[in-house]
Chains A and B, each alone.
Chain A
Amino acid sequence: MTDTSDPDGESAGPDAGDADGDTKAGSGEPVVDAAEVEHVAELARVRLAEEETETFADQFAEILEYFEALDEVPDLDREEELVNVMRADEVEAGLAQEEALANAAETEDGFFKGPKVS
């Protein structure tokens, strides 16, 4: 565990590098590197093969580039933000157990059933 977590623990290095990359977005340097993709995949509990990591790094960079289009959007007058939107503390009818479980891939005794987690 220490072996695999050490690079992450020391991530001040690579992370700082990423942060630089982010600020220089559009300047041609890689916005998302393989380490970042692996980190996100791990948080999402998705296992990626090495070549997938490279593919996703490229794709992430492309996707992020699309957002640059937002820089072109002119300033607009916008609606004032809402505040204090609340509901009264009154019980509303919800879903019956069968309805709640209707889309579940697997169930057991009224529970959603999933793989083991730790």
Chain B
Amino acid sequence: MEIVLKNLTKIFPSRNKKSNEEVVAVNNLDFTIPDGKLIGLLGPSGCGKSTTLYMISGLQKPSDGKIFFGSDDVTQMPSESRGVGLVFQNYALYPHLTVKQNILFPLQNLKGKDKLTKEQMLERSYDAAKLVQIDDLMDRKPSELSGGQQQRVAIARALVKMPRVLLLDEPLSNLDARLRLQTREEISRIQKETKITTVFVTHDQEEAMSISDMIVVMKSGVVQQIGKPQEVYDSPANLFVAKFLGTPPINVFDGRVEKGKVYIKDDAVMDVKGLADQEVIIGIRPEGFILDENGPLNCCLKAVEVMGRDVSIVSVNDASVNPTIRSIIDAEKKPDHDCVKVKFSIKRSKIFLFDKKSEKRIMVED
């Protein structure tokens, strides 16, 4: 089911009647979520991503704008008629019911022509449980399950009524690091098997990048960029997106364009054609550095961190906005420990220029 958001806006009224501080949680969202894809809503906390999810679920009413599921306008439709499955951050499994009863719960709500017989309900609940691989835990209580198992039960409960749209709110935030890796693959697998349009919310860019077909990066209620994860990473639309994606984060420098060259302090790191002379912000991905004795960029070496497969070089440059520069290079090419200065040349595809004021990307011709 394709989801279309049209000028979706959510304004929370101020809590205090005297002050008129309204909070615009979501501002004029306008995009389409294609059918059968896994979409990650990504942004720092307070960016409105969960509010967007809750508006799609129907638990919150938009202040303005419309939501379509396919051609149905569901904006005014109550939550239960939308056919959404929602998985909460804390799972919200009913603690007094067994796993089976939890999964059966949505089916027992069905009325009229949708009503199922007991056998059909059991069959559907076992199908859902098998899909998330918890069919051997059906008689346990949620408190007797691990976090990862609870998560699966929550997904099974959301899937059992065969929703048109599956929504996941921070699905992995309550799991430990190993389980998180495992569960995100699981979510990706379940989504591919069921082909249900799935939207999930996360503040973890790695999580979003790794399993999403498409990511929507948000900040302060406004969409910053929409696209395939790799595309967004390779070509960020602005400084915020560039900073938000990637671990270690992108290195940011104050620099300038002068006579067709990009300078960091006095080092000309890149040639550009057809750009007027101006102050710019320069972003260089950690993997964009090449250790090169004849390279243009001079930095003071602080530390070399060996991480097995590759080496992380921590260095300092006065023009860097962050206190240190982090670059990742092959383990075989690491510098001598004793040296004080390091020189880098920069991969052209890993360096981005941003406007000093608007922080928007300045596109450079190759």
A binds B: no
Chain B residues packing against A (C-beta within 8 Å):
none
